[in-house]
Amino acid sequence: MSPQTVIFYCLAVIIILSAVIATFARNIVNAAYGLFFTLLALGGVYVLLRADFLAVTQIVIYVGGILVLLLFGILLTNRRLEDLIISGQRSSLLGVVMGCVIFAVLLAIIFYARWPQSENAQLEGTTAPLGYLLLQNFLLPFEFSSITLLAALLGASYLVRPSERD
Amino acid sequence: MTEPATIIPRHPHYFLDYADAARAQLAQSFRLWGVTLWPGADVPPALVYLAAAVVGCAVIIGVLCLTVMVLVYLERKVSGHIQSRLGPMYVGWHGVLQSIADVFKLLAKEDLIPDNALRFLYSFAPALVLVGAFAPFAALPFAQNLVMANMDIGLFYIIGFASIEVIGVIMAGWASSSKWSLFGGMRLAAQMMSYELPLGLSVMTIIILAGSLNLNDIVMRQETLPYVLQSPFGLIAFILYYIAGLASAKRAPFDLPEAESELVSGFHTEYSGMRFGFFFLAEYASMTLISAVGSLVFLGGWNFPFSGDGRVIVGLLQLGVKTAVLLMLMLWLRWTLPRIRIDQVMHMCFKVLLPLGMICVLGAGIEAVSGAHAVMWALVLLLVAATYIIGRKSNSFAPARAKGHL
Amino acid sequence: MTLEIGLIHYLVLGAILFALGIIGVVTRRNAVGVLISIEIILNAANLNLIAFAKHAAKGLALPGLQGSAGLDGQVFAIFIILLAACEAALALAIIITIFNRFGSIEVDYANTMSG
């Protein structure tokens, strides 16, 4: 058993357990911390997949940005400090059945399809090639995504502006 | 279309090379006077790498803990002398053993968990903060070839893992079920998130100038001149970096998250004993990190002014001196400047540091393409001088206080 | 379950994450909970893309760069992370607006538009 195998299974167990917490935890803060471990362990999986730049990007943007935003959202939208924020479950049986069906379909596709067995050659570092790809082949989407980010920023700050009546 | 293949750097992975050498040594039988003491064994490489990683981590953590103890002592001494006191004097000569006494005090204290606290998150938060403070050191080159993980993305990794600390702090603030903790945690999260932007932009300036994310490369390119002197934008970026670093290490004047006068002591109000010690350790470790990265990226690290032909001791000494100077500056600032208000913190970040950082990135881009360092210096100096003169004439740049509305 | 980790393993992991995310989106009533589940779904997609980037037989390769084949999968993952950041910022703005208007972030309360 190669070390990669051991590391992969450890990470997979962490990912699945914490994703289950993120999905089913009644306390929404616990769910957010479940998401934290999912994202962190996924970063580890990206390293296994030789995507070092993406692994760090994952941690910077998801853990350092999106997750903190989520926690802020939770802390800003509860009225009292004393009681925990409990999120109710709605028609959980239907949801679980739906999830299982989708999972079964996905599994069927994964095992039915014939995937390429090849493995791409290892790069010493993905940063420079990624930079070239972004600024040569994907220049238009790259520039467009910056406009999207700006629009999202403006939209978000417009939505949460103090209302005129106050 | 230009040919990209030539620019991609290939680095030896120094630490793994050491591990390979160790493995080769193990594979040879070790004999003494004809007796086989160690039968040569083919140890699996993964095991050797793991052992090497554990040893490396232990060394780094040990050195860091020592540094923190010295820093705590120095801080108390410096604060004492700045305030015309003597500081700790009783334990050892001039109180040099005070930190050791402090450690024993922290270890002996009872580890309290408040009744309302969320037990798991409460006890896990200090560990997370510690991880965020210590993990970046794995990619820090202490001297040429003296680095645990020589990654292509070293600088990015350091900036990224430092942001894990924020999560730990919010966790601590939330799990304590105390108002002071929650306010402190939220303040710190807002502050650290905001100041990550100028921090990232200032580092980005150097990344553009150096054309690499690898810290070893960045330092190697400063053999003749460090980036603060090579480029005007390097100098501006260094000042930005230092201010943003102060804020993200929650040092005065940006220490609102633990403002004693309003929030008891912020997010770690409820913590005691060794868990409090962890927060303490993390704070001083991140100060050290900010200073060390600053001296590596901007001040030439272990390669300026003496390259020393890659000798470890020369590099360690140079890096140590630079880091110590930056750290002392932090201590000095803390006991000199008053704490600023939260709106001033945000104003500073978004209206001053962020635009300056963007100008730096833009200028560094132009400079990296054109290579006209001297012209850029002249331009920036002229601009600063012009701003100063116009500001003195028209008084429009004067602070609000001078115009009569405080 | 084989000992060598291949493409299938990553795909199955991605499928599990995707299914969990779908369950969360359907069953959660808290808006932030829904957002968390959406992030899980996006991450599942990312995992698949990066796994394909490593294992794809043919991919966009940079001229003169050995072994850069398939990196376009990683570029797609970067764009997804970027869009996830936009989406999180906007969603939180919407959540805070809903909270100010309805006094709760349970999505069931925001039903004034339903007939």
CB contact under 8 A, A53 and B1: no
Tell the residue number behind the tokens 């193990």, with chain if given. Answer: B26
Rg (CA), chain A: 21
Q: Which of A131, A122, A52 is nearest to B212 (CA)?
A: A131
Same domain, A156 and A75: no
Q: Which of B337, B238, B336 is nearest to B291 (CA)?
A: B238
> Cβ contacts of residue B143 below 8 Å, gap of 6+?
B302, B311, B312, B313, B314, B315, B316, B319
| Secondary element (H or E) of residue B3 | none
Q: Is the predicted pLDDT of residue B8 greater than 60, yes or no?
A: no
Q: Which of B5-9, B272-276, B399-403 has the lowest mean pLDDT?
A: B5-9
Same domain, A72 and A153: no
In a domain, C114, yes or no: no
In a domain, C112, yes or no: no
Chain B residues within an 8 Å CB radius of A63: 163-164, 167
**What are φ and ψ of residue B249, in 5° steps?**
-90, 10
pLDDT tens digits for range C2-11: 567 778 888 8
Percentage of residues in chain B with pLDDT exceeding 70? Answer: 85
Q: What's the mean per-residue pLDDT of chain A?
A: 82
**Domain count within chain A:** 2
With an 8 Å Cβ cutoff, is B369 touching chain C?
Answer: no
Residue A36 half-sphere exposure toward CB, CA atoms < 13 A:
24
Higher-scoring residue by pLDDT: B375, B321:
B321
Same domain, A6 and A30: yes
- Per-residue pLDDT at A15: 93
pLDDT tens digits for range B88-101: 878 778 878 888 88
Tell the residue number behind the tokens 């502006």, with chain if given. Answer: A161
3-state secondary structure of B41: coil
pLDDT tens digits for range B230-274: 888 888 899 999 999 988 888 878 777 676 667 777 777 777 778
In a domain, C19, yes or no: yes
In a domain, C51, yes or no: yes
Same domain, A100 and A136: no
In a domain, A116, yes or no: no
Same domain, A104 and A37: yes
N- to C-terminal Cα separation, chain B: 58
- Per-residue pLDDT at A86: 55
Residue B318, amino acid: Q
Enclosing domain of residue C74: 7-58+68-106
With an 8 Å Cβ cutoff, is A117 touching chain C?
Answer: yes
**Taking phi first (over 0 means left), then psi (-120 to 50 degrees means alpha), and beta for anything else, what does residue B216 get?**
alpha
- Per-residue pLDDT at B5: 41
Whether this prediction's pTM lies above 0.95 is answered by no
Among A5, A57, A115, beta carbon nearest to C7: A115
Same domain, A6 and A86: yes
Report the neighbours of B using a cutoff of 3 or more CB pairs below 8 angstroms.
A, C
Say how far apart CA B264 and CA B280 lie, in whole Å. Answer: 15
Q: How many residues does chain C have?
A: 115
pLDDT tens digits for range C71-86: 788 888 999 999 999 9
Same domain, A83 and A129: no
- Per-residue pLDDT at C80: 92
Say how far apart CA B64 and CA B134 lie, in whole Å. Answer: 9
Q: Is the predicted pLDDT of residue B371 greater than 80, yes or no?
A: no
Q: Which of B333, B350, B334, B331 is nearest to B342 (CA)?
A: B350
N- to C-terminal Cα separation, chain A: 65
Say how far apart CA B88 and CA B80 lie, in whole Å. Answer: 8
Vertex B129 angle, CA B125 and B131, to 5°: 115
Tell the residue number behind the tokens 């959540």, with chain if given. Answer: C95
Q: Which of B51, B204, B218 is nearest to B151 (CA)?
A: B218
CB contact under 8 A, C20 and A50: no
- Per-residue pLDDT at B406: 39
CA separation (Å) from B140 to B69, B99, B115, B296, B344? Answer: 20, 26, 41, 9, 33
Cβ pair B239, B199 in contact under 8 A: no
DSSP β-bridge partners for residue C28: A89
- Per-residue pLDDT at B53: 80
N- to C-terminal Cα separation, chain C: 51
Helix/strand/coil (H/E/C) assignment for every residue in chain C: CCCCCCHHHHHHHHHHHHHHHHHHHHHECEHHHHHHHHHHHHHHHHHHHHHHHHHCCCCCCCCCCCCCCCHHHHHHHHHHHHHHHHHHHHHHHHHHHHHHHHCCCEHHHCCCCCC
Enclosing domain of residue A138: 124-166
With an 8 Å Cβ cutoff, is A127 touching chain C?
Answer: no
Among A103, A120, A132, beta carbon nearest to C62: A132
In a domain, A91, yes or no: yes
CB contact under 8 A, B153 and A81: no
- Per-residue pLDDT at B259: 65
Vertex B194 angle, CA C104 and B297, to 5°: 150
Among A73, A117, A132, beta carbon nearest to C92: A73
In a domain, C86, yes or no: yes
The segments of chain A whose pLDDT lies below 50 read 80-84
Please name the residue of chain C whose CA is at the shortest distance from the CA of residue A129: C68
In a domain, C115, yes or no: no
Q: Is the predicted pLDDT of residue B76 greater than 90, yes or no?
A: no
Q: Which of A53-57, B41-45, B384-388 has the lowest mean pLDDT?
A: B41-45
How large is the average pLDDT for residues B78-91?
Answer: 83
Tell the residue number behind the tokens 């306390």, with chain if given. Answer: A27
Same domain, A25 and A90: yes
CB contact under 8 A, C19 and A74: no
Among A29, A53, A60, beta carbon nearest to B163: A60
Please name the residue of chain B whose CA is at the shortest distance from the CA of residue C67: B5
- Per-residue pLDDT at B10: 44
Cβ pair B376, B231 in contact under 8 A: yes
**What are φ and ψ of residue B378, in 5° steps?**
-60, -45
Burial of B92 (0-12, 13-18, 19+ CB in 10 A): middle
Q: Is the predicted pLDDT of residue B3 greater than 70, yes or no?
A: no
Same domain, A75 and A18: yes
In a domain, C1, yes or no: no
In a domain, C46, yes or no: yes
Report the neighbours of C using a cutoff of 3 or more CB pairs below 8 angstroms.
A, B
3-state secondary structure of A137: coil
Cβ pair A104, C22 in contact under 8 A: no
For the domain that residue A66 is a member of, what is the CATH number? 1.20.120.1200
For the domain that residue C16 is a member of, what is the CATH number? 1.10.287.3510
Same domain, A69 and A5: yes
Tell the residue number behind the tokens 């079964």, with chain if given. Answer: A104
Say how far apart CA B290 and CA B241 lie, in whole Å. Answer: 9
**Domain count within chain C:** 1
One DSSP character per residue, B219-263 reads: HHTTSSS-HHHH-HHHHHHHHHHHHHHHHHTT-TTS-GGG-HHHH
